[in-house]
Chains A and B, each alone.
Chain A
Amino acid sequence: MSEIAFYVLSAIALLSAVLVVFAKSPVHSVLYLVLCFFAIAGHFILMNAEFLAIVHIIVYAGAIMVLFLFVVMMLNLNKDSDQPKSNFGKLGAVLTGGIMLLVLTAASKSADTSMAQVQSLGELGTVQSLGKALFTTYLLPFELSSVLLFAAIAGSVMLAKKDID
């Protein structure tokens, strides 16, 4: 049963990823990416990382993608035909991607995962245990990330602001 779930979710993820790349309109790409994120969140739930799945949806699909959509709409790129570079460029890009895939899989294939079984996280995926880990072992990065977010906010506001004469 879970295998079917796995394969279906993987198929959705891959398909939507490919469609992100090859969609003609940017808005469609954004939407396909949202779909992809949902599939990946489904994978997270399969591995019992519930907190991460929820956060994934809220942050990525909910906030980041909405931001993307805002920008696409603002720049009015809807009608952009946006052809890829040239036939040669297309070919080169696909080839490079393919080579990347080969290398990655070859590299990871040779890793010794003979007895690798993905177990579910069990208790570890819950909010409580993750929260405990975050607030004890990983407290410093947690606090620092708030500084990072603050810097990002200030930076983006400053960058995108129009000069007021």
Chain B
Amino acid sequence: MGIREMALMIPLLPLIGFTINIFFGKQLPKSVGSWISTLALIASFGLVVSLWGPIGAEPLGLHLTIGEWFSSSWAHISFSFHIDQLTLIMLSIITGVGSLIHLYSQGYMHDDENQNTFFAYLNLFVFFMLLLVLGSNMLVTFIGWEGVGLCSYLLIGFWYKDHENNDAARKAFIINRIGDLGFLIAIFTCLIQFNTLEYSKINELAGGGMITTGLATMITLCLFFGATGKSAQIPLYTWLPDAMAGPTPVSALIHAATMVTAGIYLVVRLSSLFVLAPISLNLIFAVGVATALIAAIIGLRQNDIKKVLAYSTVSQLGFMFAAVGAGAFSSAIFHLGTHAFFKALLFLGAGSVIHAMSGEQDIRKMGGLTKALPITHFTFLIGTLTIIGFPPFAAFFSKDEILAMAYSKSVWMFFFLALTSVLTAIYMLRLYFLTFSNSFRGTDHQASHLHESPWTITVPLVLLALASMFSGVLGLPEVISDYHWLNSFLAPAIKVQQEGHVSHFFEYCLMGVSVVALIIIFILVRKWCSGEKALQVNNGFWAKAIDNKFYIDEAYDSLITQNFARISKWTNGVLESKLVDGLVNQVSLTTLLSGQTIRRIQSGSTGVYILSMVLGIITLLVFQYLSR
């Protein structure tokens, strides 16, 4: 089949998987349903890989129009896909990591009775995410955007019998929706100002200098607001730690590899618009750095294995946004890709640990798992080393690139990002040591159940570890190699030239200093975690503040949620019952009262009747006389 058909099948296969599982899931045996989903996704991945050849070389990419959506005299919106190099990278990540997670879920969700529904939701999620990145205009992206929000609600709240999960799912969905308002406003503005929503046309207009800075600033600020909702930046990040209530594969897929990257993708897609608005870029830079730093600080004192990883995700997303803000768009994509690998690896490893510990998630109760879970331990170690930026694993290169770009823009920001990297190292190593090293601190019941996970879980772990180790070669910095493969690959897709240049000397310094610092931190943290002090409860002021996530959730609650609740109570109690109901009741009361009053005319007294008759006749005569 031709390229077009193959491209069309890529999102269609997961959709078919979803349909089969949602309608027939209860009847199908568990293995059949889950394998249908997994194979659908692996087939999609295969299609993506086969598309690399033809499209990778094509500078313009492939445009596939499925149908005219609606058109009026001044705007045409079609339902169409556009596959270029940026899309290809995203597609590969989504389908590749996605299929590994599907495979993992077969082992992880094996005991769950609704397993087929889970796979249905997973497939639906992947379908929407694919729609998001495949869309050639903002509206198709928006469909995917909303769809992944919906699926994240379904998946986070999958174990719906526990009310906390439902609250977390609702929180995620609502906060996403708040961000979507920004996206919608940007869509409307684009439609009105540019009469089109196609990315290619908008990029053309932006590149041709037809868009004023003010307009670009407004649109990009709205888009960024939407991105903060999806990609969990300040101020809309509070949903992500709570979303860890969902099953671990969900955390891996949604919150590591795919959904949270949608914000970054959107910004990079419209990069030509963003460079026209330096205010927005500076804001994105600042917000990214701030988010990274604050999330790293909070992550230092978390004790739930998944919460640490959640804050780490927020922090790394902050890195990516900082890269975007510094104008380094393809660096952001680079880090997005490596992050997908190592974060998924870390989450899946955490899931394996939780599975082995019979559901325990507190790292203070773990420890000494090296012998019991060898493969999990080894892959988790690789993941940890990657995230802290240890050479030659992937994030060493991607993070260094971001740090370098940041330095070329602003020394202060670079300093904060470097501080964040240090904190990242500290908390990730703390996580690793507390989970795996020293002696086992759990209960005997858990100790008796410790076992390595089945192959469906360990194979994805190994594959992701390999990816984390070797994907760094895609973006080697200048000092090592003249050819930065990713930058040149993405150049036709991201039309903006990546500025930012640092001297070779600085690069060498950076690399050297980071390696040395990492080794020092490794030794220090290992020592710290082997002692008893690491497990103690610290009641100091700052410790308490960090433990409670700087009370941001409470602040949101009292400032926003309570006031909304008050408004709605007032509206219901006053407006609704007094005004609206009162009005309606008044009408009926008026009718009633007037009826009661008017019927007194029929008093029964004949004399009055006769009098009224005569008066009536007189009136008629008068009118007749007057109308002559």
Contact = CB atoms under 8 A, between A and B. Distances in A.
Interface of A: 85, 89, 92-93, 96, 99-100, 103-104, 106-107, 110
Contacts of A89: 607
B628 A96 contact: no
A100 B620 CA distance: 11
Contacts of A107: 621, 624-625
B611 interface: yes
B1 interface: no
B622 A85 contact: no
Nearest to A106: B625
Interface in B574-628: 607, 611, 614-615, 617-618, 621-622, 624-625, 628
Given A107-B624, A110-B625, 12 more contacts: A85-B607, A89-B607, A96-B615, A99-B618, A100-B618, A103-B618, A103-B621, A103-B625, A106-B625, A107-B621, A107-B625, A110-B628
B611 A96 contact: yes
Contacts of B624: 107
Nearest to A107: B625
Nearest to A97: B614
Contacts of A99: 618
Contacts of B621: 103-104, 107
B622 A103 contact: yes
6 contacts: A89-B607, A93-B611, A96-B611, A96-B615, A96-B618, A107-B625
A110 B628 CA distance: 10
Contacts of B614: 96, 100
Contacts of A106: 625
Nearest to A109: B625
A32 B628 CA distance: 39
Nearest to B621: A103
A96 B618 CA distance: 9
A148 B244 CA distance: 99
B200 to A, nearest CB: 87
Contacts of B617: 100
Nearest to A89: B607
Given A106-B625, A107-B624, A92 B618 contact: no
Contacts of B611: 92-93, 96
The 8 closest A-B pairs by CB, nearest first: A107-B625, A103-B621, A103-B618, A96-B614, A99-B618, A100-B618, A103-B622, A107-B621
Contacts of A92: 611
Interface in B56-85: none
B623 to A, nearest CB: 10
Contacts of B615: 96
Nearest to B615: A96
A87 B368 CA distance: 115
A105 B625 CA distance: 11
B604 to A, nearest CB: 15
A109 to B, nearest CB: 10
A96 B617 CA distance: 11
A107 B622 CA distance: 8
A105 to B, nearest CB: 11
A128 to B, nearest CB: 39
A107 B618 CA distance: 11
A93 B607 CA distance: 10
B316 to A, nearest CB: 97
Contacts of B622: 103
B455 to A, nearest CB: 109
A87 B624 CA distance: 32
A83 B126 CA distance: 100
A100 B607 CA distance: 17
A100 B621 CA distance: 9
A107 to B, nearest CB: 5
B150 to A, nearest CB: 78
Contacts of B628: 110
Contacts of A96: 611, 614-615, 618
Interface in B421-439: none
B393 to A, nearest CB: 111
A106 B618 CA distance: 12
Contacts of A104: 621
A45 to B, nearest CB: 31
A68 B628 CA distance: 41
A89 B607 CA distance: 9
B624 to A, nearest CB: 7
A80 to B, nearest CB: 17
Contacts of A110: 625, 628
A85 B615 CA distance: 18
A104 B617 CA distance: 11
A89 B615 CA distance: 14
A92 to B, nearest CB: 7
A104 B628 CA distance: 14
Nearest to A84: B607
B625 to A, nearest CB: 5
A89 B608 CA distance: 10
A85 B624 CA distance: 32
B344 to A, nearest CB: 99
Nearest to A92: B611
B613 to A, nearest CB: 11
Interface in B293-346: none
Contacts of B607: 85, 89
B445 to A, nearest CB: 103
A111 B184 CA distance: 78
B605 to A, nearest CB: 10
A103 B626 CA distance: 11
A110 B452 CA distance: 118
A6 B615 CA distance: 32
A92 B607 CA distance: 11
A107 B626 CA distance: 9
Nearest to A100: B618
A106 B615 CA distance: 16
A100 B616 CA distance: 11
A92 B611 CA distance: 9
Interface string B141-175: 00000000000000000000000000000000000
B600 to A, nearest CB: 18
B540 to A, nearest CB: 96
Contacts of B618: 96, 99-100, 103
Nearest to A99: B618
A106 B622 CA distance: 9
